[in-house]
A and B are shown apart, each in its own frame.
Chain A
Amino acid sequence: MPALSPTRTLLALKKNATTLSVILKGVDHARAVSARDGSDGWTVLEVLCHLRDYENIFMSRNKLVLEADEPALPVYNPMTLAAENRYAEQDFLTVWNEWLELRRQHLDLLSRLTPEAWNRKGAHPTWGIVPILEMATITALHDGDHTEQIIRALGLSDVIFA
């Protein structure tokens, strides 16, 4: 199995959901809107809204790549999405369930791909020509990025690597 492979990536996408569920154990809406990543950073609720919206974006990009030859991939501004989708006014539990459902759909899509389909590519204006495998792996690592952000917002770890 190569260092980056569909099997490894699918496993990471499944596993991250379990790990995030542990980090969020005991967190209710009140805590999710009060725990913030720094004085002007996002709350836990806003981070989760970001993960939900990008799950949809990542999955939609993969669908585009499966349907067209090297399509142009749409890009979004996270801060604009936060304002447009009124992250601060969302319900924490609803957003969590929406993210889980999108992750299920995304996994279902990816788990049915042939080796050739995993290598189909899209054109990102910043990243260049990227295959589905690399975009899906980035999705898994993006989970980790924001899981760590949630941990910092909730004060759950003393370990910080500057």
Chain B
Amino acid sequence: MNTLYTPDRALMWLRKTPVILSAILRDVDQTKAMGNRDGDDGWNVLEIMCHLNDLEDVYNQRLRATLEQDRPALIGFKPLEAVIEHDYAHQIFSDVVQSYLVRRTEKLRLLESLSAEQWQRVGVHADYGDMRVLDQAVATALHDVNHTEQIVRVLNIASIVL
């Protein structure tokens, strides 16, 4: 096993991606968040933030299960069903952003408290197979990257450069 992915690096990325997101969202209010969509039937910024907020909760539950149980099956998440069940279209944008940041803080406090052995504990994802706590943390940071760029496209504040 190499040392390319380390707990310190994972923590650093999990701290940094919400800062990038907050910079992108700094001039976005409720009206703007409910405006443009990612394509005709894609999500608007409010719905993307609801998705990030819901998944942050799911990711935190998966981490806790992995720490507390022996190779638990990681809970699933159906993004499109969550849109309806959690009524994304009628949420308050600023509350959703705040909730996401609180959940990220909870995740960071949890991960910061772990021993080296705990970072290697494994949960079993239905699609991805074995995922260590470390893998789950890195995957969360990559998920942030994906949706941050989606928000940029929806807000139409950059041309796609590549």
Q: How many A-B residue pairs have CB under 8 A?
A: 134
Most buried by B among A11, A22, A157: A22
Task: Tell me the count of chain A residues lying within 8 A, CB to CB, of chain B.
Answer: 47
* The one of B26, B108, B157, B158 that contacts A157, using a Cβ cutoff of 8 Å: B26
B161 A18 Cβ-Cβ under 8 A: yes
Q: For the complex, is A56 an interface residue (Cβ under 8 Å from B)?
A: no
Most buried by B among A130, A157, A161: A161
B108 A161 Cβ-Cβ under 8 A: yes
B152 A19 Cβ-Cβ under 8 A: yes
Q: For the complex, is A79 an interface residue (Cβ under 8 Å from B)?
A: no
Q: For the complex, is B23 an interface residue (Cβ under 8 Å from A)?
A: yes
* The one of A12, A157, A161 that contacts B23, using a Cβ cutoff of 8 Å: A157
B138 A4 Cβ-Cβ under 8 A: yes
A8 B149 Cβ-Cβ under 8 A: no
Distance from A128 Cβ to chain B, minimum over Cβ atoms (Å): 4
Q: For the complex, is A76 an interface residue (Cβ under 8 Å from B)?
A: no
* The one of A9, A23, A124, A159 that contacts B2, using a Cβ cutoff of 8 Å: A124
Provided the pairs A18-B160, A21-B159 are in contact, do residues A11 and B146 lie with their beta carbons within 8 angstroms? yes
B162 A17 Cβ-Cβ under 8 A: yes
Which of B3-11, B30-38, B39-47, B75-83 lines the interface with chain A? B3-11
B148 A19 Cβ-Cβ under 8 A: yes
B145 A16 Cβ-Cβ under 8 A: yes
B162 A14 Cβ-Cβ under 8 A: yes
Q: Name the prevailing secondary structure of the B interface residues.
A: helix
B4 A4 Cβ-Cβ under 8 A: no
Which of A36-44, A47-55, A80-88, A145-153 lines the interface with chain B? A145-153
Q: Name the prevailing secondary structure of the A interface residues.
A: helix
Q: Which chain B residues border A119 with CB–CB below 8 Å?
A: none
25 interchain pairs, CB-CB under 8 A: A2-B129, A3-B139, A3-B142, A4-B142, A12-B145, A12-B146, A15-B148, A18-B153, A18-B161, A18-B162, A19-B158, A21-B158, A21-B161, A22-B152, A128-B3, A128-B4, A134-B4, A134-B5, A141-B142, A144-B20, A144-B145, A147-B16, A147-B20, A158-B22, A161-B15
Which 6 pairs from chain A and chain B are nearest by CB?
A15-B149, A128-B2, A161-B15, A148-B16, A3-B139, A159-B22
Chain A positions near chain B (C-beta within 8 angstroms): 1-4, 8-9, 11-12, 14-19, 21-23, 25, 100, 103-104, 107, 124, 126-130, 134-135, 137-138, 140-141, 144-145, 147-148, 151-152, 156-162
Known: A19-B20, A128-B2. 18 other contacts (CB 8 A): A3-B125, A3-B138, A3-B139, A3-B142, A4-B138, A11-B146, A12-B146, A18-B161, A19-B145, A23-B24, A107-B162, A126-B3, A128-B3, A134-B4, A145-B16, A157-B19, A158-B22, A159-B22
